[in-house]
Structure formats: structure tokens, C-alpha cells
Amino acid sequence: MRRRHLLGSLLLAPLLTACFASGGGSDSSGDAREGSRLRVALAFPPAENLSPYGADATILSRLGVTEGLTALDANGAAAPALAASWRRENARTWLFTLREATFQDGSDVTPGAVAAALTHATEAKPAPAALSGVTLTAKAAGDTAVRITTAAPDPVLPLRLAGPSLAVLSSKAYDDKGRVDPVGTATGPFALTKVTGSTSAALDRYDDYWAGRGQASGLDVRFIPDGTARASALRTSEIDIAEAVPVAQAATLDEATRKETATTRTTSLLLNSASGPFKDAALRAAAREAVDTSALAEGVYEGYADPGTGVYGPAVTWAEGKRQQPAGRARAGDPDDTAITLATYDNRPELPEAAQVLKQQLEKAGFKVTLEVREYSRLESDALEGKFDAFVLARNTLVDTGDPVAVLAGDYTCDGGYNIAQLCDRNVDRAVAEAERLADTGRRQDAAMAAEAAVLGTDAVVPLVHQRIITGVADPVSGVLLDPYERTLVGAGTRR
């Protein structure tokens, strides 16, 4: 799905419900007839015991378990979710009025419960990506509202609160040791009932969901990191929905079951700029010049991707017209058999193949490359600790907040919580901070592109391709949420 506009008004709540919220876009009424259970295959097993504060947050949102105060609509604007409306009281304070809703444990969604949930998120270590560089406090405001105050003006707070990592859970979800248990404590149309390690999960329909009872009676989820196995399970009718079907498997599926979606996902080569060989800017420049992105887009991705142009790709429709040329790049040095370790993960099957092509391109340029491939949950901590020289990452640039500046702050600033490139550059931090201060949509976009240029100028990131994803949907299934932000997949209106 191509979007004509990415960001609507940052300050005004849209009148329409979110197209990609768990309850949006469905005909889910209280008298919906009983539907079958859906069988779903996800690519990424839980990496953090289904904590909502890290990579597992999108697992919970894609399965219709969790929700936040807001959601994103099809244009990337903030739309109502648990908050029915909101208004900005002053530069640092917003008032969010809650709708009537209950948690899956039967307790009411109250201002106190919402404030407590957001407070827990602010205390999480490491901080959720949606709160990168942001300090906020949340307090109940009467019987129906929550007042949120930020340490500095935050013009995109409604977008930020749509991030999957800021899901609202009931008080039973939290313990005094900082652990969070989403089983039966969220607000979405489906409640987790059982999680079997990293292999499977069971969910039942939550009949008292505020947007109307779901049309499927529950979900049986399998975590299948191998993309070929996911596609095979769909072909043999073992599952109803398979996310992230490998492009190499697309032709093996009936055309009616292949759902292609343009996304805001960019696959990049991240170079460790803090230690190892790529601490040298000249070697980073040499690596960047060695990469042929067209070979990746047409070869590895078989045309289901566009060559990398920046942090933001064609699905971010306003970006190309505002893109600035990187400045201050170092002159490429001579690799001279410099040994490097290149790592990636196999949950997205194209990545190992892309990494293999990159290995060949880098070796042709004079590097000596060792390739390491693992399942993502066994790789993430090492990547964040900077244990690899180079890393191939597929990253949805708008998944955390919907704000184009947020991914820059989280991934490329000194204090960023997902800074695999280990980048700490004064010019980048200054450019990101300038963008974060702006409220006007157009000016914020301009500043985001200036910050993108500053990031690209360091050569710590080399954009490879901008990806389209293929979701496998069995013929009898309807209502699957083909979300360009990849935050949702199954909602109240999904049924078989």
C-alpha cells in the first residue's frame, strides 16, 4: 500500500479511528458470530520474555494484544486508541481523555492505571525506543483524563504514545523487580493465555474489548524463524497467516495468497564506528564505496525492494523531495586485507543472502570478511554491545513512534537506545536535537532530512534497500491488517 502523505497534523487529533489500530478497520460488533481460531506464523520468537519495552513490543501489537493511548492512521498521523481525544495545554503539557475500556483481567482502564503504566515505561532499563531522549511524567487528572508533562516541549507526543513499547497494561502486569507480564493484562481484542518459550503462544478472544468483540475466537501462534518453513506451512494449510514470506518463496504461493505491502522498512549496513577497524572513517568510506545496492535490490530481493537512498525510503513519500546530500564524508582509504566480522540474522531470509553478497563486494574492495549468522534473539545483545564490526539490519524507520526524527535519535545519537553503529558524533546529535525541537510538520521534515544527511555523512550507516514485505494469507481469511508500519497484523475484524 502506497501512502500519499506520511504525516498529517502533529498537533490535532484526527476525527477518524486508526486504520491500523487493533480495533480499527473491522466490522466487529458485540453480536459478531463465533469465528474459528486463526493459526498465525511469526518470524521473530520472543527475545525478551515478551516485555513490551523492547523488540517484543511489536509481537504483542501485531497479535492484537496491546494498545497505547494513541495509534497511527494510514497517513501516519496520531489517531484515537485508549485515548478518545487530547489537547495540548501548554508547550510541555498534554491532556488525554480516556474512553471507557477494561483490561483483560476485568479491571477498568482508569487514569491512575494509565499513569502508572506510563511511569513504569519511563523507569524501564534500557529505555523504550519511543522514549529515547524524552523525559515525561504522567498523572491522573480527575476521573476520565491523564495529564502528561514532558521535561522539554515535545510536539509529537501523540505520535510517540502510539509506539508499541508504550502499551498500557493493568497493575497486575508489573512487579517490584521491574518485570512485566502481558499475559491477560492488556487491552486488545486478544488476550495471551499461554506462552511456550520461543516456540508458540495461545491467545483467546477478549469478549469485552472496547471496540467490539473480535470475529475470531482466538489465535494459535507459532514462532518460525525459517522463512521457507513459514511459506511451506501456509502452502500445506498448517497455518492461516504467515508474516514476512521470503521473496524466494513468493512464486511458490498462489497469487491470491500473496499480499505485497510497501513499508517504511530500510535494510542497512551498520558499521561499528566506536571500536575495531571501522573506527577509522576512511575505512567506513571504503566500505560504503564497495557496496552495489542495485545488485541487492534486483538480485537478492528479486525486485521486491528499491535500492537504498537514505534512512527513509520511497514509502516515506515526502522524503525524496527534501533529501540533502551528505557532507563531510572522509576520503576512502585502502582496506589492505583489513579483517572484519560481518553479522546478520536469519529471521528475515533475505538478510543472510544479502550479507553474503556484501561479503563478496567488500572482499573485492580489499577487506577480509568473516560472516556470522544467528537467530535474532541470540544476536541482539552482542550487536547492541558493539561486538561486531559490521551488521546488516532490516529496520522499520517509523515503527517506534511514527515520527521521522525518532529513529535518528534512537539509532544514531550518543544516547540512542538502539545504536548498533555505536555512533557518537557531535554534528549528528546537534542536527537531531534541532529537529526534535520543531513542531511545524514541514519544518520538522526538513530538519529530519538535514539530520539524515549528517548521519549519512559519517558513513556509519550504508542504506542498502527499501523493502516491500509479502504476507501470506490463506484464501478463506479476511481482515488481515496489512500495515505499512508493521505494527499490526491481526485485529478484531480478522477471521476465517
Identify which of 233, 225, 300, 169 has the alpha carbon closest to the alpha carbon of residue 39: 233
Identify which of 120, 215, 155 has the alpha carbon closest to the alpha carbon of residue 9: 155
- Ranges of each domain in the chain: 264-468
What is the band of 1 on the pLDDT scale with cuts at 50, 70, 90?
Answer: very low
Q: Supply the Cα-derived Rg of the chain in whole angstroms.
A: 22
Tens of pLDDT, residue by residue over 201-218, are 999 999 999 999 999 999
229-237, long-range: CB within 8 Å, 24+ apart, which pairs?
230/41, 230/43, 230/472, 231/472, 233/41, 234/41, 234/472, 234/474, 237/474
Of 31 and 350, more confident: 350
* Distance (Å, whole) CA 16 – CA 7: 15
Q: What is the pTM of this model?
A: 0.74
CB within 8 A of 5, min separation 6: which ones?
75, 76, 317, 318
All three cell numbers of 466: 527499501
User: How deeply is 95 buried, as exposed, middle or buried, from its count of CB atoms within 10 A (0-12, 13-18, 19+)?
Assistant: middle
* Distance (Å, whole) CA 218 – CA 35: 8
Tens of pLDDT, residue by residue over 430-457, are 999 999 888 787 898 999 999 999 999 9
Tens of pLDDT, residue by residue over 283-297, are 999 999 999 999 999
User: How deeply is 197 buried, as exposed, middle or buried, from its count of CB atoms within 10 A (0-12, 13-18, 19+)?
Assistant: exposed
Of 299 and 11, more confident: 299
- Span 12-36, average pLDDT: 43
CB within 8 A of 127, min separation 6: which ones?
53, 417
What is the band of 472 on the pLDDT scale with cuts at 50, 70, 90?
Answer: very high
* Distance (Å, whole) CA 475 – CA 449: 41
List the strands of the sheet with 136-141, edge to edge.
Answer: 83-90, 93-98, 145-150, 136-141
Which of 33-37, 93-97, 465-469 has the highest average model confidence (pLDDT)? 93-97
Which CATH code is given to the segment(s) 264-468? 3.10.105.10
pLDDT exceeds 80 at position 267: yes
The per-residue pLDDT for 34 is 58
All three cell numbers of 154: 515535545
At 286, give phi and psi (nearest 5°).
-65, -40
Task: Please report, rounded to a whole number, the percentage of residues in the chain having pLDDT higher than 90.
Answer: 73
Average pLDDT, the chain: 90
With beta carbons less than 8 A apart as the criterion, state whether 368 and 339 touch: yes
- Span 19-44, average pLDDT: 62
With beta carbons less than 8 A apart as the criterion, state whether 58 and 258 touch: no
